[in-house]
Amino acid sequence: MTVNQIIGDSQTQIFANFGKRFFAWMMPPSTSKYDKIVSDRKRSLFANLQGKVLEIGPGIGANLPYYPKDIHWIGIEPNSQTHPSLQKQAEQLGLNIDLRIGNAEWLDAEDNSIDTVISTLVLCSVPNIDYTLQAILRVLKPGGRFLFIEHVGAPQGSLLRQLQNTISPMGKVIGNSCHPDRETWIALGKAGFSSINYERFDAQLPIVSPDIIGVATK
């Protein structure tokens, strides 16, 4: 390895660490605003949770207040900068949590072991959404459910979509690798779930809208 390669790798790591710290810093206000918009939808979507629930990318724990206390909650969160806030949130709510460092493409859970997988505003940022959906299918029990709320790409040819396409590369540095133009509904349809039910809505936030909410069953 050459000196230039070492310097380049170091710079890449510096930018990656900066992105994680910046995202953890800006997450509370942005998460709070979005949560107020979708709170009723979350209550409906997360009703009747039971058994083992695995949440991908729980961040600072915005979804924890919606969960019953008797579930076995497992969180896979790669950004360690958010862990202290998530742990504090869980303590305040009286929830026992199993927080693990990992990524969405390799979920730290056994095959066919999870009753419900949850993802909110995560699929936009995973490196490979197809691998992530296959990982979700792997860990879900037969008949298990994948609950999701995600912002997605605007219609092709629209001004918003053009703006999303332009901004998407910047997400690698300051947006936790967010791809605002990702067509998540298409990937879901190709993944191999036995059924998928979702609806579109508009959270009316700049760039990161429209949105989809739904349930996919293994």
Selection from 81, 175, 161 nearest residue 125 by Cα: 175
Per-range mean pLDDT, top range of 13-27, 40-54, 97-111, 147-161? 40-54
Q: Above 90 in pLDDT, residue 141?
A: yes
Percent of the chain exceeding pLDDT 90 equals 56
DSSP-derived pairing of the beta strands 114-120 and 97-100: unpaired
Q: What is the structure's pLDDT at 173? A: 55
Q: What is the mean pLDDT of residues 170-182?
A: 70
The pTM of this model reads 0.82
Q: Looking at domain 3-217, which CATH architecture does it have?
A: 3-Layer(aba) Sandwich (3.40)
Contact 141, 181 (CB under 8 A): no
| Non-local CB neighbours of 34 within 8 Å, separated by 6+ positions | 62, 121, 203, 205
- pLDDT at position 188, please? 98
Tell me how far apart the alpha carbons of residues 32 and 14 are, in angstroms, rounded to a whole number.
28
What's the sign of the alpha-carbon dihedral 174, 177, 181, 184?
A: negative
- 10-45 confidence digits (pLDDT tens): 333 333 343 444 333 334 345 577 888 899 999 999
- What does the pLDDT look like over 62-80, one tens digit per residue? 999 999 999 999 999 988 8
Which of residues 165 and 17 earns the better pLDDT score?
165
Question: Binning pLDDT at 50, 70 and 90, where does residue 172 land?
Answer: low
The most confident of 4-18, 33-47, 91-105, 184-198, by mean pLDDT? 184-198
| DSSP result, the chain | --HHHHHHHHHHHHHHHHHHHHHHHHHHHHHHHHHHHHHHHHHHHTTT--SEEEEE--TTTTTGGGS-TTSEEEEE---GGGHHHHHHHHHHHT--EEEE--BTTB-SS-TT-EEEEEEES-TTT-S-HHHHHHHHHHHEEEEEEEEEEEE-PPPTTSHHHHHHHHHGGGHHHHSTT--TT--HHHHHHHHT-SEEEEEEE----SSS--EEEEEEE-
- For residue 2, what pLDDT band results from cuts at 50, 70 and 90? very low
Mean residue pLDDT across the chain: 83
Sorted by where each begins, the domain ranges of the chain are 3-217
Answer for the pair 175, 23: CB distance below 8 angstroms, yes or no: yes
| Both tokens assigned to 94 | 């009286």
